[in-house]
Amino acid sequence: MTTIDRQYCLTLDKTDALADLRSEFKLPAGMIYLDGNSLGAQPKVAFQRAQQVIEEEWGMDLIKSWNKAGWFDLPSRLGNLLAPLIGADQEEVVITDSTSINLFKAIAAALQIQSQKADASTRKVIITERSNFPTDIYMAEGLTKWLDRGYRLHLVDSPEELSSAINQDTALVMLTHVNYRSGYLHDMTKVTAIAHAQGALCLWDLAHSAGAVEVNLHQANADFAVGCCYKYLNGGPGAPAFIWVPKRHQADFHHPLTGWWGHAAPFAMQASFNVTPDIRRALCGTQPIVSLAMIESGLQIFAQTSMSAVRQKSLGLTDLFIQLVETRCAQHQLALVTPRGHAQRGSHVSFTHAHAYAVIQALIERGVVGDYREPGIMRFGFTPLYTSYTEVWDAVEILRDTLDTQSYDANIQRNAVT
Ligand SMILES: *Cc1c(COP(=O)(O)O)cnc(C)c1O
């Protein structure tokens, strides 16, 4: 059996097909960044792109840039660049607004489609997971309360409960493909089929999937999807999110945020809303162009590889991390939360520890940046475009030393953002 040591990890890096892409990113010296699942690193070309947008497009060309620099088409043009990463077709994705707002639009549209059906009066349940990212639950809560049409949320406590929970009363199954906390990866094809067999629609949140795991929305026959651009896609802090509506649902896709960017003729300035037939109906109003423009820099890097290569390395990194933590930190009370099976694992790994928050803060002090999530979870994200196997080794050694020497402050105060 091969001994796994630092030398072995250096060898893995030498044969890593994605190793060259690391140089495309600005990575601070002395930092092992394991939080690209929360905020992706900066593509180096983003700086030039920002300069171009600020100095030329805004600074020199001003209003002309809506046409000349293609600002007006940016949501669809970037959506088309993103599409291949998630198994979407061209003209099915726009990059716009936040994930929360896109969830609102997609939930509203799904409920509207269901309300046209003969059994609408009894099909009133939205199913999701209690462990879903809170904003997904909150947006569904907010919309259904506000609609006041008898819709209710059913929160399941484990993925195994889904198949028995989904029934003829289910209007919508709304799931996050990779759980933000545990890293659990749902079988999108299987769950979507279960939902469809009961007449329900299926909305997938790809916040922790896009750019991290292989996704094929068409193959899975999914109905709608949304996701973040500032995580694995490296679009920059607060970058606008994406929304996918397949061609087959576009004509029926109606949401209440009927701003002028979703109008068939925005510059006709008509006194009444007339929805555009295409994917731009998912838009609402003027986009944050400076932030939106940064997203292309991240997508260009993905264009140099394939999601299967990204996925293969992601599994290599997470396998290595799990194995090293479990062997080298074996005497410490760390419990793996993330599934071991490749088919059920996203691209981050979570462990519980009694002093999880304090340990994460100590690691950050020592240059290993992961994050903390309630309850008691240390979360480490692995981003195949710029994380090396040697960094995994070094991160685990720093974790081991921190635990061995108990060099963390168990009474540390929490920051506002954990
Ligand atoms: C990160 C994340 C979000 C973030 O939503 P914002 O509107 O961008 O704040 C939403 N849902 C999931 C599942 C996430 O992981």
Per-residue pLDDT tens over the stretch 309-325: 999 999 999 999 999 99
Q: What percent of the chain has pLDDT over 90?
A: 97
CA 104/CA 372 separation, integer angstroms = 27
Q: How far is the CA of 99 from the centre of ligand 1 (A)?
A: 6
Would you put residue 208 in left (φ > 0), alpha (ψ -120 to 50) or beta?
alpha
Catalytic residue among 328, 345, 379, 400: 379
At 369, which helix (H) or strand (E)? strand 368-369
The ligand 1 atom at the shortest distance from the C-alpha of residue 102 is 7
Check the annotation: does 405 bind a ligand: no
Q: What is the mean pLDDT of the chain?
A: 97
Does residue 133 carry a catalytic annotation? yes
Exposure string for 15-38, b = 16+ CB within 10 A, e = fewer? ebebeebbebbebeeeebbbbbbb
Contact 229, 297 (CB under 8 A): no
Check the annotation: does 348 bind a ligand: no
Does residue 5 carry a catalytic annotation? no
Label residue 16 by pLDDT band (50, 70, 90).
very high
- Summarised one tens digit per residue, pLDDT across range 54-71 is 999 999 999 999 999 999
Label residue 131 by pLDDT band (50, 70, 90).
very high
pTM: 0.97
Ligand 1 contacts CB of residue 228 (under 6 A): yes
Mutate which of 98, 228, 292 for ligand 1 pocket (most atoms within 8 A of beta carbon): 228
Per-residue pLDDT, averaged over 123-134, amounts to: 98
The ligand 1 atom at the shortest distance from the C-alpha of residue 231 is 1
> According to the model, what pLDDT value does residue 1 have?
63
Mutate which of 135, 136, 174 for ligand 1 pocket (most atoms within 8 A of beta carbon): 135
The pair of three-digit structure tokens given for residue 75, joined into one six-digit string: 């949501």
Mutate which of 35, 96, 130, 133 for ligand 1 pocket (most atoms within 8 A of beta carbon): 133
Ligand 1 contacts CB of residue 135 (under 6 A): yes
DSSP 109-161: HHHHHHHTSTTTTT--EEEEETTS-HHHHHHHHHHHHHHTSS-EEEEESSGGG
Q: How far is the CA of 176 from the centre of ligand 1 (A)?
A: 10
Q: Is 90 helix (H, G, I), strand (E, B) or coil?
A: coil
Check the annotation: does 208 bind a ligand: yes
Label residue 17 by pLDDT band (50, 70, 90).
very high
Per-residue pLDDT, averaged over 207-218, amounts to: 98
Residue 164's CB is within 10 A of a number of other CB atoms, namely 9
CA 402/CA 268 separation, integer angstroms = 63
Is the pLDDT score of 3 beyond 90?
no
> According to the model, what pLDDT value does residue 309 have?
98
Dihedral angle sign, alpha carbons of residues 297, 299, 303, 305: positive
Does residue 205 carry a catalytic annotation? yes
Contact 231, 207 (CB under 8 A): yes
Check the annotation: does 351 bind a ligand: no
The pair of three-digit structure tokens given for residue 208, joined into one six-digit string: 């922790």
Check the annotation: does 260 bind a ligand: yes
Which regions of 192-347 does DSSP assign to beta strands (E)? 201-205, 224-227, 241-244, 335-336
